[in-house]
Chains A and B, each alone.
Chain A
Amino acid sequence: KNQVEQSPQSLIILEGKNCTLQCNYTVSPFSNLRWYKQDTGRGPVSLTIMTFSENTKSNGRYTATLDADTKQSSLHITASQLSDSASYICVPQTGANNLFFGTGTRLTVIP
């Protein structure tokens, strides 16, 4: 069964601190994995995309990692800013072009 589990469900951190969000998936056949950021009241916006051969991908202060063997991915946010407050959604995709959205991690950055 294709599943995506994200942890933690929610997270509160102080501005300037780092954090890491986790994603475990059981999606087959695996093609790639994206991380999306969704601000409240907005549609999701793609942050990174990694194929099975890529271990890490960065986009500014966001760094995603992928271990296709253990079916795990993480999103690391460095030097958090208030504008990082959002939901972060892990989205693995199969070779048949089906996307599976996780329920997301709700991040709140406080001053």
Chain B
Amino acid sequence: EAGVVQSPRYKIIEKKQPVAFWCNPISGHNTLYWYRQNLGQGPELLIRYENEEAVDDSQLPKDRFSAERLKGVDSTLKIQPAELGDSAVYLCASSSSTVATQYFGPGTRLLVL
């Protein structure tokens, strides 16, 4: 069974440029999460989806970050414009429910210059 797929794996952009990350969760997993992980830190939740509904986006910086999961499967996370402090690893995870174990993708490592 395929795991959580993320692309791209690496992205280097200049500040003020837009960037988008894509996530394909494990088949059948209704719950999808986006996390940001800074170096030496644990992941921090940005947004959680139940199917296509964002049920927890309290930690998402909405002035520059946006996310969507239109058909309740794949999801994209966008930053516009990117800032130097956005350099981090962006992890996508999915689970069969909110109480079930989360399965993480490999992450997208973003470097903003």
Contacts and interface: CB of A to CB of B under 8 A. Distances in A.
Contact of B42 (A43, A97, A102): A102
A43 B101 contact: no
A77 to B, nearest CB: 19
B7 interface: no
Say which size band chain B's interface belongs to: 10 to 19
B101 A97 contact: no
Contacts, number: 40
Contact of A49 (B101, B103, B104, B107): B101
A103 B38 CA distance: 10
A56 B98 CA distance: 23
B45 interface: yes
B42 A46 contact: no
Contact of A101 (B42, B98, B103, B107): B42
Nearest to A4: B42
Nearest to A41: B106
Contacts of A4: 42
Interface in B97-113: 98-99, 101-107, 109
Interface string A75-111: 0000000000000010100000111011110000000
Contact of A97 (B91, B93, B98, B106): B98
Contacts of B14: none
A97 B99 contact: yes
A57 B34 CA distance: 28
Contacts of B42: 4, 89, 91, 101-104
A46 B102 contact: yes
8 contacts: A4-B42, A42-B106, A46-B102, A46-B103, A91-B42, A97-B98, A97-B99, A104-B41
Given A46-B101, A91-B42, 6 more contacts: A43-B91, A97-B99, A101-B42, A102-B42, A103-B42, A104-B41
